[in-house]
Amino acid sequence: MNKVIYSILEEEHKKTKSKMDEAEKKKSKELLTSISKDLLAHMSAEEAAYYSFIMKIKIMKDLVLEAEEEHLVIKTIIQQIKQGKIPDDVLWAKFKVLKENVEHHVKEEENTLFEETRRNITESEAKDIGEKFLEQKKKYENVN
């Protein structure tokens, strides 16, 4: 049974939060690497499947543009973290900023973007987007 995009993303958001909390608590660089890879695949798939679809809805355009800018900030922090060769205290400071940005983005996405999307697309379209998201995510997981 196909899930709507909102359910898929909410599940992923919860898993990411849990992993981020654990990484922060344990100061685990391995978890940090895993989270970075997961986030990059998630954002790329989200942009390709979800944002590209709802961007066509005039009333959604500004919300999508803001979400894409938030993704850009998150990707920039991930790239800085992936470069390595930074002291541990700086690494975990960057991670804290990454976590705060992800949490802010998730809150806005789940509270604003999802609600507007629900008002403007059908459940069938939401399921199609969910399916496309999962296909795209598999593709991007192999890239990152």
Name the stretches of the chain with pLDDT < 50.
none
Q: What is the DSSP string of 22-48?
A: HHHHHT-HHHHHHHHHHHHHHHHHIII
Burial group, residue 50, by CB count within 10 angstroms (0-12, 13-18, 19+)? buried
As a CATH number, domain 5-141 is 1.20.120.520
Can you read off the two tokens belonging to residue 79?
């790239």
Q: How far apart are CA 108 and CA 123, in angstroms?
A: 21
Residues 4-31 pLDDT 10s:
999 999 999 999 999 999 999 999 999 9
Would the pTM of this model clear 0.85, i.e. be above it?
yes
Residues 68-79 pLDDT 10s:
999 999 999 999
The residue among 141, 138, 118, 144 whose CA lies nearest residue 4 is 118
Within a 13 Å sphere around the CA of 61, how many CA atoms are in the beta-carbon half? 4
